Each structure stands twice: as structure tokens, then as C-alpha cells.
Amino acid sequence: MDNNIMSSREKCLFLWLNDKEFHAMEASKRAVEVAQVYKQHPTIMRAIRRIYIELNIPWISPWIASWKKKLRYYEVIIIHASKITPPVVKFIKRKCPNIRIIVWYWNPTNKCVSLDKFSNKDCEIWSFDEGDCAKYDVLFVGGDKGRIKKLVEIQRKFNELEVSSYFYITPTGKVNEAFKEVYKERISYPDILNYISESKAILDYVSENHGLFGSVEKK
């Protein structure tokens, strides 16, 4: 693997409330460093910590896990959006102003922590909710998995709405001959990261039941 690519990946940190969560573990498998936001504490201490945070007491360093000791090493930090993570963003920005911070909303913004809790001077806001992302440029990278017809329809809708989009669809299983001109060859994970860095929103079509997800840039 190219040393520059490996170096860039090693300087990225994923912060999760639970570092055993599926996406955290998948990122770890791809040589991205993953850590838990706060130290492990018993239930009573977690309750005290939440009260501490809700009271907006600024000195949160004692609660933060050991990743804080390597803070100056990272170039990009992605942190899971939660009611107890806004002070962590402020902590990172105060300690290392040049770090790129991405706050990742796994749930719709109206069902999670308010956007107002994060300053657009401190971080970028990414979301996996279609409604949060409809106004932004869109990237899709993924396999067909029997959904290519729907994906092509979605991209056509984006074009009609004058929303620029780029869909990178790879074949999985039997190729749908009607869309053979749409398919592209599989690409590496670092190449996917490059596409993401050039996009404002990431679209992930999961299923008819789960709907559409993407990332959003806060204005």
C-alpha cells in the first residue's frame, strides 16, 4: 500500500460512544484508529457525567478517554453526534484548532442533539438522513445488490432538481444487462475516501424499509 495513503489513514480518528459498535469495528478493520469518547464508568458515574455535561461545566478532560493524549497527532477526527458530545468538539478545537472535526449524525438531526449545540466554526456536520441532505451535492458508492434500477431513478431525480450527483455503482452477482453501461469497476477504500472528501453529501440506499441516508454540510 502507498505510504502516503497509509499515513493519511493513520492520522484519522473515529470517536464513538461505544467503540464496539458495528461501524466503529468496521472502520477499525480498515486500519482507521477507533476510540471511545469517554472513559468506561459504572452507571452511577455515567449519570453524574451526563449531569455535568448538561450543566455545561467546561472542564471535561477527566471524563475523556486516553485518545486525548495523542490529540496533536491527528489531522481528522470524526465523532458520533450525541447530546453528550458537543463539549468534546469544543475540547478538541480548543486544544488543536487545526484539526478537521466531523460530527456524524447517525439519526435524523431533529431526533438527536440540536445542530445549535455545535458551532460551524468548530466542525462540519454530516448526517445520514435524506431530508437533512436534499439541498447538497450527493455521492453514492456501492454495489448493485438488486437496487440499480432504483439508484438510477434517484440520480435522475437529483438531475431534475439540479442537484449535482455522482453514483459509482459496481456489479454484485448477476449483472442487469439493461444497466450494463452504468456499472463501474470496484475501487479501493482510499479511492472511496478521496471521492468522499470531494463531496458534500454521502447517499446510502439501504432498503425500502430503511430509506435513504446521506451527509449534510451545516450552513
Q: Could you report the average pLDDT of every consecutive run of 10 residues in the chain (219 residues)?
A: 45 88 80 89 87 82 92 92 90 93 80 75 77 68 88 86 81 83 82 76 68 44
Element (H, E) at 126: strand 124-127
Q: What is the pLDDT, as a whole number, of residue 67?
A: 95
- Amino acid found at 81: A
Phi, psi of 50 (to 5 degrees): -60, -45
Contacting residues for 26 by C-beta, under 8 A, at least 6 apart: none
Q: What is the pLDDT, as a whole number, of residue 46?
A: 86
Q: What is the pLDDT, as a whole number, of residue 1?
A: 39
Q: What is the pLDDT, as a whole number, of residue 91?
A: 93
Please report, in angstroms and rounded to a whole number, the separation of the first and last CA atoms in the chain.
Answer: 37
- Cβ distance 80 to 16 under 8 Å? yes
In angstroms, the CA 219 to CA 217 distance is: 6
- Amino acid found at 205: Y
Is the pTM here over 0.75, yes or no? no
Beta pairing class for 201-202 and 100-105: unpaired
Phi, psi of 32 (to 5 degrees): -95, 130
Residue 93: count other Cβ atoms within 10 Å of its Cβ. 17
DSSP 80-101: E--TTSHHHHHHHHHH-TTSEE
Q: What is the pLDDT, as a whole number, of residue 207?
A: 56
Q: Which of 92, 43, 101 is nearest to 64 (CA)?
A: 92
Q: Give CA angle at 43 (41, 44), nearest 5°.
A: 95
Q: Which of 152, 107, 147, 151 is nearest to 131 (CA)?
A: 107
Q: What is the pLDDT, as a whole number, of residue 179?
A: 84
